[in-house]
Amino acid sequence: MAYQIKVKGGLDRSWSEWLGSVKMTSEQQKDGFVITTLIVEAIDQATLFGILDRIRDLNIFLISVTSDGEG
């Protein structure tokens, strides 16, 4: 199962490995804010919660978490 995690702000690409080798894209919104999307492939719930814990520990603003619905 793949998950898409959106956070507020831009993250340096080096964070990808620290967060668990996720794919990252950043996009500037019309209001000037940057939204970073993390794509995490084929993980279990424990791994997902570990990534979310890291995001929380870094005080990164979590916007959303969605799954592809498969699995």
CATH number of the domain encompassing residue 15: 3.30.70
Query: What are the backbone angles phi and psi of residue 35, rounded to the nearest 5°?
Result: -115, 130
61 — pLDDT class (breaks 50, 70, 90): very high
Q: Is the Cβ–Cβ distance between 7 and 66 less than 8 Å?
A: no
What is the predicted pLDDT for the residue at 41? Answer: 79
How many structural domains comprise the chain?
1
Consecutive H or E run containing 56: helix 45-57
Give CA separation, 40 vs 5, 14, 29, 68, in Å: 8, 15, 22, 11
- Stronger pLDDT, 12 or 2, i.e. the higher one: 2
Q: What is the pTM of this model?
A: 0.80
User: Which range of residues forms the domain containing residue 43?
Assistant: 3-67
